[in-house]
Amino acid sequence: MQIFTRITNVFLLLLLCLSSGCASDQPPSGGPLDTTPLQVTFSDPAPSAVNVSTKGIHLTFNHDVSLRQLLNTVIITPSIGEYDIAVHGKKAEIKGFKPLEHGRTYVLTIDKNLRDNSGRTFRAPFAMTFSTGDVIDSGIISGKVINSDCSPATNALILAFAEHQETSGAGTLLQREPDYFIQADPSGAFSFNHLAKGRYRLIAVNDRNRDLRYNAGSEESGLCSTAIIPTGSSDLLFRLSKIRRNTSKLPVKPVSKLPDLAATGTISGTCFASGQYVIVEASSSTASFNTTASRDKNGLFHYSFQELQPGSYTISAFIPSGSKKPDSERQWNPGSIVPFQPAEPFGFYPEKVTVRSRWTTEHIDIRISMLK
């Protein structure tokens, strides 16, 4: 009886170990975690394919993805209308409700924020171009988007609206679907590389919620200094303006004492611009100063900020509209979407400028480029 009880106890102990996963000398199953970034390993149509005649786009990833993730990150320009997406593990199919338009170049982009089922992402947005005609469109427009403080606009989305005779109404852009749109890279730089040749109106937005559209009133927007931009244009600069809110003005705090002039510094430089006047701004985290640059006989503009408190400053400049000499305190006009009005030409020094007491920081030069 005692032997039977001992055998029974050993048997129960073995069952308990098997059911609860007793420790063993074997390594855990599954192997090391695969940290390879998410990639598209196959596509049909193939990249740069021409004469494509299909309603479906097939993609294969190196990791499993979810339908919800893919739905929120796929961009197809120009728009193909409504479509369905089906996902089975690593494979996905995008199927339009109607055939693709003949003779068009399409660009499929997958947002860099797409995550697979383990949270892995792309190193950069995935883009694939194909054509339903004999050639791939090669129109290019490129530039850079910065925030209001001149830092890179890392979440910038650029919308391009083709300028046609039937869509020339400037006030209708927000009611139209953009013909193309693209995400800027982390430096704020962007390049449309496969536009149909023509002219476009461009809007840059801070895509805060990453929904790939402009939400007026909650997201900053920016325009460049040219209303209608032809393909082949480059070095465009978009500056996102702050969201305008109906708030009462804050009271101005009185200055308690004058600054110690012996402890201040100076910034000086040159502006290269084609306008009649240039206004330069020096901004720190606590103050902002404007000055009107002086133009020499060679057309160069020179400026100088004196008696600046030590610290780090952003230096920018713009060409004010109008023929009269502007007040030096005049602020840059960012333009407007409705009615459509381009921003005043703008430029900035790409690095923060350090001001030291009793020191002049020279050659802080700014170039303001304009399309001709």
Ordered by start, the domain boundaries in the chain are 36-136, 137-243, 261-367
Assigned CATH topology for domain 36-136: Immunoglobulin-like (2.60.40)
Q: Where in 97-232 does DSSP place strands (E)?
A: 105-110, 126-131, 139-146, 156-162, 180-183, 189-195, 199-206, 221-222, 229-230
What is the structure's pLDDT at 165? Answer: 62
**CATH number for the segment(s) 261-367:** 2.60.40.1120
Count of alpha carbons within 13 angstroms of residue 68, beta-carbon side: 1
CATH class of 137-243: mainly beta
DSSP-derived secondary structure letter, 219: S
What is the structure's pLDDT at 372? Answer: 60
* Neighbouring-strand partners of residue 199: 230
What is the structure's pLDDT at 329? Answer: 86
What is the structure's pLDDT at 212? Answer: 77
Tokens 């129109």 label which residue? Answer: 139
Task: Give the integer Cα–Cα distance in Å for 85 and 67.
Answer: 7
Closest listed residue to residue 231, CA positions, set 168, 177, 180? 180
Tell me if 36-136 shares its fold with 137-243.
yes
What is the structure's pLDDT at 254? Answer: 42
Q: Per-residue confidence of the chain (372 residues) as pLDDT tens digits?
A: 444 444 444 444 444 444 444 443 344 455 567 789 999 999 999 999 999 987 789 999 999 999 999 988 898 989 888 899 999 999 999 999 988 999 999 999 898 789 999 999 998 888 899 999 999 999 999 999 999 999 999 989 999 999 976 655 544 687 888 899 888 988 999 999 999 999 999 999 998 887 778 888 889 999 999 999 999 999 999 999 887 655 444 444 444 444 565 689 999 999 999 989 999 999 999 999 999 999 999 999 999 999 999 999 999 999 999 888 898 889 999 999 988 999 999 999 999 999 999 999 999 999 998 876
Stated length of the chain: 372
For 156, 332, 342, the CA distances from 239, given in Å and listed in that order, are 10, 11, 11
What is the structure's pLDDT at 41? Answer: 96
Tell me how many degrees the CA angle 215-121-43 measures, rounded to the nearest 5: 95
Tokens 């381009």 label which residue? Answer: 342
Helix or strand (DSSP H, E) at 68: helix 67-71
What is the structure's pLDDT at 336? Answer: 93
What is the structure's pLDDT at 54? Answer: 78
